[in-house]
Amino acid sequence: MTAAGFGEEMYALVERLYPLCRSITGDGVRATLDIVGEYLPLQVHEVPTGTQVLDWTVPQEWNIRDAYVADSTGRRVVDFAASSLHVLGYSVPVSRTMPLSELRAHLHTLPEQPALVPYRTSYYTPEWGFCLAQETLDALPDGEYEVVVDSTLADGHLTYAEHVVPGQVPDEVIVSCHVCHPSLANDNLAGVAVATFLARALAQQTPYYTYRFLFAPGTIGAITWLARNAERIERVKHGLVLACAGDSGRLTYKRSRRGDAEIDRVLRHVLAASGRPHRVVEFTPYGYDERQFCSPGFDLGVGSLSRTPYAGYPEYHTSADNLDFVSPEAMADTLAVCREAFAVLDRNRLYVNLSPYGEPQLGRRGLYDSLGGRSDAKQAQMAMLWVLSLSDGEHSLLDVAERSGLPFDTVAGAAGALHGAGLIKE
């Protein structure tokens, strides 16, 4: 399938997921995973309320059926049915009539963006509220309003899912995205779509690493996975968190806490070699779930890939983060970078030169002859010489590519030819 085809399919998935009301728990998460499960086989986990997960406790499960604010004529001036953003996430049930003066304390707006509805939550503090455009609030006359939040907050479960693409070795690469935001197309649905199609693409290959995809609510989901997988942590060699993957901004890679993890070097190399507009930024302990995987007790080599980073665009966490804000082309580009990066990661090896005393004679082994007629013959020849020079068991193929300035694909091809000729070994 072409990149454009992948982009259109990812956009169609975002369209299907967009109307669902998601939170850190509840049926909206399950419905989301049911749809993703049509694209990938998923192992779904249900973790009971009250389960201790590291320093946290799995909260009660939240579900909502309806919510509105209605004026004296019965007209719904704020309506959950129109957008799941209209309700403060995790709002406790309420059914009252009150004056606007009292209701105002429970209304959330963006005065600086008066036409937009904000996204707000109250996960761990019992509260109720509504989100609406400032211009809607300004138009409300004084008077009595009927306020209804038909929700439940009760013992239940936290839900997350995994999909594993088996590799040649049990060492794992974690790819994580969050499934806890309601109708926000870029943050987080574009990341969910890219992760889904990345998993499908990898399944068409036989990757070197085992790739584990996590579809989990932000923060508490990653913490829960880490708490429940202590025995597997040592297998996690690399990781990437996907978020804000569908807007028109340039790509941004956020390094792991280590700063020099292999995934950091791979993404830096791939982005630079691609010629795409991009930024590489340093780690900060704020953002998405890279901060959980990189916490000092785990210190995993996990970075984060996005386009415009969190809070870096005016539409962030507002109703303007809608289906018009993301594009098939941007998601296809993000997917392409992920595939390029993992292609490098999968082939990055350490080799030892088995003929290290002087330059081995490549001609009599047919290595020069094999390049005849190739337009990149000189480049491929140089790649062989560089691989032989740096194959001391301490320099990886990525080191060779960076030091020589040659494309990684050319270096990896040269290593394959030299390995086949018995001149180097892993």
Chain segment 200-224, per-residue pLDDT in tens: 999 999 999 999 999 999 999 999 9
Predicted pLDDT at 23? 98
What DSSP state is assigned to residue 364?
G
Name residues whose C-beta falls within 8 Å of residue 18's C-beta, 6 or more positions apart in sequence: 183, 185, 189, 322, 323
Sheet with strand 157-165: strands edge to edge: 43-48, 157-165, 210-216, 172-178, 236-242, 302-306, 251-254, 278-281
Instruction: Tell me the average pLDDT of the chain.
Output: 95
Predicted pLDDT at 364? 85
For residues 170 and 182, give the distance between their C-alpha atoms in angstroms, rounded to a whole number. Answer: 35
Predicted pLDDT at 15? 98
Give the pair of three-digit tokens for residue 150. 């038909």
Q: Does domain 350-425 have CATH number 3.10.129.10?
A: no
Give the phi and the psi of residue 423 in degrees, each rounded to 5.
-95, -20
For residues 291 and 220, give the distance between their C-alpha atoms in angstroms, rounded to a whole number. Answer: 12
CB 325 within 8 A of CB 315: yes
Residue 78 above 90 pLDDT? Answer: yes
- The pTM of this model reads 0.95
Q: Grade residue 38 by pLDDT with cuts at 50, 70 and 90.
A: very high
For residues 47 and 321, give the distance between their C-alpha atoms in angstroms, rounded to a whole number. Answer: 30
The domains of the chain are located at 3-59+157-347, 62-154, 350-425
Burial class of residue 412 in the structure, from the number of CB atoms within 10 Å of its CB (0-12 exposed, 13-18 middle, 19+ buried) = buried
Predicted pLDDT at 380? 86
Name residues whose C-beta falls within 8 Å of residue 123's C-beta, 6 or more positions apart in sequence: 23, 24, 59, 89, 90
Predicted pLDDT at 396? 96
Residue 1 above 70 pLDDT? Answer: no
Strand, coil or helix: 25: coil
Q: Grade residue 374 by pLDDT with cuts at 50, 70 and 90.
A: low
CA nearest neighbour of 320 among 119, 69, 82: 119
For residues 119 and 182, give the distance between their C-alpha atoms in angstroms, rounded to a whole number. Answer: 8
Predicted pLDDT at 321? 98
Q: Which CATH superfamily is domain 3-59+157-347 in?
A: Zn peptidases (3.40.630.10)
Name residues whose C-beta falls within 8 Å of residue 363's C-beta, 6 or more positions apart in sequence: 369
DSSP string, 313-352: STTTTBTTSSTTT--HHHHHHHHHHHHHHHHHHHH--EEE
CB 58 within 8 A of CB 49: yes
Q: Grade residue 367 by pLDDT with cuts at 50, 70 and 90.
A: confident
- Specify binding-site residues for Zn(2+): 181, 187, 317
Query: How many CA within 13 A on the CB side of residue 353?
Result: 19
- Specify binding-site residues: 181, 187, 317
For residues 336 and 355, give the distance between their C-alpha atoms in angstroms, rounded to a whole number. Answer: 38
Give the pair of three-digit tokens for residue 134. 């400032």
Predicted pLDDT at 362? 86
Name residues whose C-beta falls within 8 Å of residue 75's C-beta, 6 or more positions apart in sequence: none
Amino acid at 310: Y
Amino acid at 314: P
For residues 377 and 344, give the distance between their C-alpha atoms in angstroms, rounded to a whole number. Answer: 21
Q: Which CATH superfamily is domain 62-154 in?
A: Domain of unknown function DUF2172 (3.50.30.90)
For residues 415 and 367, give the distance between their C-alpha atoms in angstroms, rounded to a whole number. Answer: 11
Q: Grade residue 3 by pLDDT with cuts at 50, 70 and 90.
A: low
The number of beta carbons lying within 10 Å of the beta carbon of residue 106 is 17
DSSP string, 49-101: TT-EETTEE---EEEEEEEEEE-TTS-EEEETTT-GGGB-BTPPPEEEEEEHH
CB 270 within 8 A of CB 160: no
Predicted pLDDT at 369? 58
CB 10 within 8 A of CB 186: no
CA nearest neighbour of 59 among 90, 29, 22, 93: 90
Rg, Å, the chain Cα set: 25
- Partners of 305 in the beta sheet? 242, 253
N- to C-terminal Cα distance for the chain? 34
For residues 169 and 270, give the distance between their C-alpha atoms in angstroms, rounded to a whole number. Answer: 23
Q: What percentage of the chain has pLDDT greater than the value 90?
A: 93
pLDDT digits (tens, 9 = 90+) for 264-312: 999 999 999 999 999 999 999 999 999 999 999 999 999 999 999 999 9
pLDDT digits (tens, 9 = 90+) for 380-389: 889 999 999 9
For residues 69 and 52, give the distance between their C-alpha atoms in angstroms, rounded to a whole number. Answer: 37
Residue 371 above 70 pLDDT? Answer: no
